[in-house]
Amino acid sequence: MARTQAGGITEAEVQNATYTYAADAEASDTYAITLPKAPAAYVAGQQFAFKANTANTGAATLNVNGLGAKTIKKRTGVDLADNDIKSGSIVEVRYDGTYFQMVSMLGNAPAGSGDMTAAVYDPTAVTGDAFDMANMVEAADAKVLTAAERTILGNTSGANTGDEVDANATTKGIVELATTAEVDTGTDATRAITPDALNGASPAVATTNMTEGTDKNFVTDAEATVIGNTSGTNTGDEDTASITALGALMDSEVTNLAQVKAFDSTDYATAAQGSTADAALPKAGGTMTGDIALGTAVTDTSSIKLNNAALSDEKWSGTTIVATAGETIAVGDLCYLKTADGEWYKTDGILDGTDTAFALKLGVCVAAGTDGNPTEVLLDGVIASAAFPAFTVGAPVYMSDTAGDMVVAQPSTTNFAIRVVGYAVSATVLHFQPSNDYIVHV
């Protein structure tokens, strides 16, 4: 009587793989089996076996009891190749949750067992030991050495034992180094020279053993003395006639040699300026006395040219005076010269009974100053300042009722002095040339 396990499965059914094995009856790569007891669903880890009815041709699937066809893979995700499953072979697969992985031997696996066949180790059917070096076949970068070649590679004596080939102009081989004595002899045509041997050779490398070339000439000791002379005098090595012929002057030919040696180019003017510049006005500015004459004949034309380029803010070009500030004034402020103390203050165009700036001498501050301290004032010229309003080219600019400011619109405030202080030559540059006249708005 057959014994059964829990669940009603007999030992015979287990031994016969009744619930995991069946024969395939399909005629294509879509293998299918029907087990006597169908699994409820595919579960990762399930293992099945089937006898293939046909050999596969590429990718194949397995359908167990109609649960659905699942692709059979090998080597973790690789589709089968032709004949990986042979007709009539037993194929074992295990479900991984997505595919059936084939765990049995592939139909294309090499035949045999144990060691590899002679066809692999001994393709030319050598009757002796297939591993004998004499039976090996060379390939690219895989060569078999001869006994003589091994002797050469193994030679560490430092001398040619007779197996090595001496190198020459066309053949690679062994190069022997020359000794210092052999370098001195200078007749050996096969040995190589090292820097150490060359340094110890006699004669050593010297100019006497070299040949001059174009623009590559040697100098004598006497010539080297002449070239290296920096004393400023003829030490007796120089040839006076030769030096003179080259355009140089000897000390004896220069009557004011000390002055020549002490010459400073800043002490002299250019040829157009004259022989000396002791009384000339430096280009960077300075103090001069006397008149500046602009022409001496009725046909002369001359001028003083102001900088008419697009000036940067707080830059100017024109006539200025050094003065004293009566209060804190900044560059760009419109100022007037106060009669009472002779100092400069910011203008205010309102006629309030105390301000008379509208009727006095005007200027523009070009050097900031404080009460009682020096300042500089532009009396006539061009100026740009960040404090200015935007100008209209060619239009007049007026005093403002704000202390020190200018405006482009003619003032219309009652009891306000209207006085032109200049005209715009660009949107940012003012030609400051204040009018001597003014009117009071009523």
Flag whether pLDDT at 115 surpasses 60.
no
Tell me whether residue 151 is exposed, middle or buried, using C-beta atoms within 10 angstroms of its C-beta: 0 to 12, 13 to 18, 19 or more. Answer: middle
Q: For 86-146, where are the E strands, in sequence order?
A: 90-95, 100-102
Cβ–Cβ contacts within 10 Å for residue 404, how many? 20
Domain boundary among 86, 102, 118: 102
Tell me whether residue 290 is exposed, middle or buried, using C-beta atoms within 10 angstroms of its C-beta: 0 to 12, 13 to 18, 19 or more. Answer: exposed
Q: What is the pLDDT of residue 77?
A: 82
Q: What is the pLDDT of residue 1?
A: 43
pLDDT digits (tens, 9 = 90+) for 402-427: 888 999 998 887 777 788 999 999 99
Residues 6+ away with beta carbon under 8 Å from 258 = none
Tell me whether residue 317 is exposed, middle or buried, using C-beta atoms within 10 angstroms of its C-beta: 0 to 12, 13 to 18, 19 or more. Answer: middle
Q: Are 413 and 401 spatial neighbours (Cβ–Cβ below 8 Å)? A: yes
- Which residues are bridge partners to 100 per DSSP? 72, 95
Strand-pair category, 362-367 with 334-337: antiparallel
Cβ–Cβ contacts within 10 Å for residue 413, how many? 11
What number is the average pLDDT over the span 368-394? Answer: 94
What residue type is 75 in one-letter code? R
Domain boundary among 102, 119, 134: 102
pLDDT digits (tens, 9 = 90+) for 226-253: 777 766 666 665 555 555 555 555 555 5
- What tokens does 102 get? 């084939």
How far, CA to CA in Å, does 45 sit from each of 22, 42, 94? 18, 9, 6
CA–CA distance, 315 with 302 (Å, rounded to integer): 25
366 closest CA partner among 311, 402, 329: 329
CA–CA distance, 430 with 428 (Å, rounded to integer): 7
Q: What is the pLDDT of residue 203?
A: 59
In a domain, 282, yes or no: no
Higher pLDDT, 182 or 1: 182
What number is the average pLDDT over the span 276-286? Answer: 60
In a domain, 114, yes or no: no
324 closest CA partner among 357, 363, 284: 363
Tell me whether residue 249 is exposed, middle or buried, using C-beta atoms within 10 angstroms of its C-beta: 0 to 12, 13 to 18, 19 or more. Answer: exposed
In a domain, 227, yes or no: no
How far, CA to CA in Å, does 314 sit from each of 297, 366, 419, 442? 39, 7, 23, 35
What is the extent of the structural domain holding 85? 11-102
DSSP 8-class letter at 28: S
How far, CA to CA in Å, does 98 sit from each of 29, 41, 65, 425? 18, 13, 17, 87
CA–CA distance, 119 with 108 (Å, rounded to integer): 17
- What tokens does 426 get? 């660009």
Q: What is the pLDDT of residue 349?
A: 65
pLDDT digits (tens, 9 = 90+) for 188-209: 777 777 777 666 666 555 666 6
Q: Are 2 and 10 spatial neighbours (Cβ–Cβ below 8 Å)? A: yes
What residue type is 378 in one-letter code? L
The tally of CA atoms less than 13 A away on the side-chain side of residue 185 is 9
Give the range among 43-57, 108-122, 334-348, 428-442 with minimum mean pLDDT. 108-122
**How far does CA 47 lie from the centroid of its chain?**
63
DSSP 8-class letter at 358: G
CA–CA distance, 159 with 136 (Å, rounded to integer): 32
Match 């030609």 to its residue by tokens: 431
Q: What is the pLDDT of residue 24?
A: 93
In a domain, 305, yes or no: no
With pLDDT > 70 as the criterion, what percentage of the chain qualifies? 71
Residues 6+ away with beta carbon under 8 Å from 194 = 177, 178
Q: What is the pLDDT of residue 251?
A: 57
Higher pLDDT, 101 or 306: 101
CA–CA distance, 190 with 197 (Å, rounded to integer): 15
CA–CA distance, 413 with 278 (Å, rounded to integer): 57
pLDDT digits (tens, 9 = 90+) for 2-22: 454 555 677 777 777 778 899
In a domain, 4, yes or no: no
In a domain, 5, yes or no: no
Higher pLDDT, 351 or 55: 55
Give the pLDDT band (50/70/90) at residue 332.
very high
CA–CA distance, 177 with 182 (Å, rounded to integer): 10
Domain boundary among 75, 102, 129: 102
416 closest CA partner among 430, 401, 402, 426: 401
What number is the average pLDDT over the span 51-66? Answer: 94
pLDDT digits (tens, 9 = 90+) for 333-379: 999 999 999 999 998 766 555 566 778 899 999 999 999 999 999 99
Residues 6+ away with beta carbon under 8 Å from 234 = 240, 250, 251
For the chain, the domain total comes to 2
Give the pLDDT band (50/70/90) at residue 400.
confident
